[in-house]
Chain A
Amino acid sequence: MSAVKEKSAKAKFYMGILHIRGWEFSHQTVKTDVNVGYEFIKMAAKEGDTEAMQYMINNGASREEQKMYKKQLQACFKTEEKKRAMHFLYDGC
């Protein structure tokens, strides 16, 4: 079974890139279809792939979508930062 069918967000992001860049990049395996490409990347972003979110912010998202992806990305970074902060100790309430 392919990785996309196994619900891998990263696979969806790569699939999106292949569709957007088309034959030239994907060595004649995927025809250029920007709409399908963006659909894949949007799905990947929805499933929490940070690279996909970043891609949507930099390319092709409307202003409202950009806002949403930025918020989502910030939340992901905060979680990462919390993981980093686990190494430090401090008192709670």
Chain B
Amino acid sequence: MLRWIYILMFSMNLMATEYCDSYTLYEKGDLIESKRLLDSLAFKGDTKAQNLLALVNFYSSKMSATQKWFQRAATKGDLKAAYNLGIYNYMNANIKQSEKWMHKAEVLNEAKFALGVLFTRNNPQKAKAYFYLPAVEGNLFAKAHLCVMPNFSKDSNNAKYQKLCQGFQEQASLITGKFYDTPKQYGSINKALYYLKYAVDQGNAEAMNLYGSLLYKRRGQSDEANALLYFLKAADKGNVEAKVNAAWIYYVGQKWTRKPALGYKML
């Protein structure tokens, strides 16, 4: 009996070491070698390895394998894999599936935040409730999202939300705006512009520069005069990036925005 326990402990130890080796390789960016080690572990049913193998496949652009391994680990109850599968589905615009897997991983603060983001579309009051828990525990994105959302007159939690958001509105506006600007797959220029507006109105230079860049990104040269206005305002407040952006518009601009001499002076 004791002999079997020793054998079991030894093989578990071996699996942990193998996982650690593949993890180190993944962190170093050696995806091929990492995948080689993870493959055997994943086929033995190690959910940690299955989750990491899905990520290795994701960064190797093998999407069906990514989904397969996330799903295998998530159905066996791995919370991180369930969360990842939720994100993966969200990236593929499969919102229903995303919601399903996020609910399964709901114990994790990250999943609560993700559920908040999902509910902002159709149930903002519920979204706020989801943002609140991770926000209290220090998740800055959740706090920012909670604070940029309007208060609902019948919401009994308004007082605790207001207490948490006191003095944080401007930063919340900037953080949420940035969140929707990057990375690409979550991005929505209009959403980012909407959330940034408060910080812009408060005179936040970083927000003004980002706002100008987004206006230019959205409509290109047809909105360059508007973008330039925000760049100049931010540059006046000492934002160097905005100065460069304004200078460049002075160079490549059309009609009255073309003032190369001024652009050169600013550069």
Contacts and interface: CB of A to CB of B under 8 A. Distances in A.
Interface of A: 2-4, 6-8, 10-11, 14-15, 18, 26-30, 78, 81, 83-85, 87-93
- How big is chain B's contact interface, by range? 20 to 34
Q: What 4 pairs across the A-B complex have the smallest Cβ distances?
A: A27-B260, A89-B80, A93-B20, A29-B264
Interface of B: 19-20, 23-24, 29, 48, 51-52, 55, 58-59, 80, 83-84, 87, 108, 110, 183, 240-241, 243-244, 247-248, 251, 258, 260-261, 263-267
9 contacts: A3-B240, A78-B29, A83-B183, A85-B59, A89-B110, A90-B80, A91-B51, A91-B80, A93-B19
B84 A89 contact: yes
Contact of B87 (A3, A8, A83, A87): A87
A93 B25 CA distance: 12
- Interface of chain A, main secondary structure: loop
Given A10-B244, A11-B243, A18-B267, 11 more contacts: A3-B243, A3-B267, A10-B241, A14-B244, A14-B251, A29-B263, A78-B29, A88-B84, A89-B83, A91-B48, A93-B23
Nearest to B49: A91
Contacts of B83: 89
Contacts of A11: 240, 243-244, 247, 267
Given A3-B267, A14-B267, A92-B23, A28 B29 contact: no
A25 B263 CA distance: 13
A22 to B, nearest CB: 12
A3 B244 contact: yes
